Amino acid sequence: MRRLSLSLLSTLLLSCAAVAQDAPQPTLNQVLQAQDRDSHGDLRAVVVLRDGAIVAERYYNGETADTLHDIRSAGKSITALLVGAAVARGQLTTSKTVGHYWPEVADSPAGKVVLDDLLTMRSGLAAFDEDAASPGNEDKLDEAPDPAAFVRGVPAAAAPGGIYRYNSLGSYIAGRVVENAGGADLEDYAAKALFAPLGITRWSWGRDVANHPKGQGNLSLRARDTARIGQMVLDDGMFDGRRVIDVSWLKAALAPRVAIGAVDRYADSYGYFWYAKTQDIAGQKIPVFFASGNGGNKIYVIPTRRMVVSVASSAYGKGYGQRRSEDILKAILTADGKQM
């Protein structure tokens, strides 16, 4: 009887395994539909592109395809693209200092920072967004009655080019540098150098008290348009057969310049205001480059899958926002891998 029971148990286990193998895998649309059950009420949109075409798309909690959504610090990655546009036009070079392009702050610690270090969050300035007491903290920058005076007053905390410290001050400064080097308001510069070539016609950009667009974020775009930006990055700077951003700049921006996995669970490395992480999906290593904003706002670029995933989320200040977006990405990559 014992031998018969073991045999029967073995047969049942094999049958269950066969059923599991034969069970249909979720499609991309089903993955997005599953997010309808999310209880937080602040996921807004997910758009998935393959080879430039929408293969899955869903909106949540009142969002529509035409809603402008604040992508928060994912705007830093847009600022990096605008720096690249200025470099391609011969208007600036990353080997020169902030002060070279912004004489008003030239004699301050910020003015002495080389742009390459600024773009990799290694300015050495006493600016750390995770520390409310930090002199260059983002909230203090936002509240400053004179942003230029605020920048001049931020002291150095370390030698430039060494320690990675996430901060919004650096990307704000980068935006001001592009304005001065390009001779145009940052939003106007973006409209001509980036948005128009991509066919982006609607956006909103928050400004500081001195009326300068915030290079550190508060740029609102449609989810389809952030996906377009990701597609241009995926296509090495090309869009509809037209060169938008120089390929050499994109390679430089996405390169793993600083290892940050020890301080950021969602990334392995940092480039020029762009992140990178290799995801392990069913034993397959998949490199992902991405822009990231507070609350889980993401532009994921996945070259080996020829895919872009744009996530809009309003979970601002909520820890689960970043985790949820990464979980959505992993579910999409898993479903896509099963269907390839």
Which pLDDT tens digit goes with each residue over 280-295? 999 999 999 999 999 9
Residue 292 lies in a domain: yes
**CATH code: domain of residue 296:** 3.40.710.10
Q: Which residue has the higher pLDDT, 338 or 74?
A: 74
Residue 20 lies in a domain: no
Q: Return the pLDDT at 25.
A: 77
Alpha carbon dihedral 17, 19, 22, 23, in 10-degree steps, equals -110
Residue 211 lies in a domain: no
Residue 123 lies in a domain: no
Q: Please give the tally of structural domains in the chain.
A: 1
Residue 155 lies in a domain: no
In terms of Cβ atoms closer than 10 Å to its own Cβ (0-12, 13-18, 19+), residue 284 is exposed
Distance CA 80, CA 56 (A): 28
Residue 275 lies in a domain: yes
Mean pLDDT of 317-331: 97
Residue 13, pLDDT above cutoff 80: no
Q: Return the pLDDT at 12.
A: 45
The answer to whether 110 and 125 have CB atoms below 8 angstroms apart is: yes
Helix (H) or strand (E) holding 215: none
Residue 61 lies in a domain: yes
The answer to whether 295 and 313 have CB atoms below 8 angstroms apart is: yes
Give how far Cα 225 sits from Cα of 35, 45, 154, 200, Å.
Answer: 21, 12, 35, 6
Residue 11, pLDDT above cutoff 70: no
Number of H helices, E strands in the chain: 13, 13
**Residue 340 binned pLDDT confidence (cut-offs 50, 70, 90):** low
**Residue 17 binned pLDDT confidence (cut-offs 50, 70, 90):** very low
**Residue 20 binned pLDDT confidence (cut-offs 50, 70, 90):** very low
Q: Return the pLDDT at 9.
A: 43
Distance CA 317, CA 296 (A): 9
Label residue 100 left, alpha or beta by phi (over 0 means left) and psi (-120 to 50 means alpha): alpha
Write phi, then psi, for 339 (nearest 5 degrees).
-95, -5
The answer to whether 81 and 130 have CB atoms below 8 angstroms apart is: no
Residue 19, pLDDT above cutoff 90: no
Q: Return the pLDDT at 10.
A: 46
Residue 263 lies in a domain: yes
Q: Return the pLDDT at 16.
A: 47
Residue 53: partners with Cβ closer than 8 Å, 6 or more residues away: none
Angle of helix 74-88 relative to helix 169-182, nearest 10 degrees, comes to 30
The answer to whether 85 and 193 have CB atoms below 8 angstroms apart is: yes
Mean pLDDT of 108-129: 98
The answer to whether 299 and 229 have CB atoms below 8 angstroms apart is: yes
Write phi, then psi, for 131 (nearest 5 degrees).
-120, 110
**DSSP assigned state of 297:** E
Quote the domain boundaries for residue 54: 26-74+219-340
Q: Return the pLDDT at 8.
A: 44
Give ∠ CA 138-139-142 in degrees, rounded to 5.
85
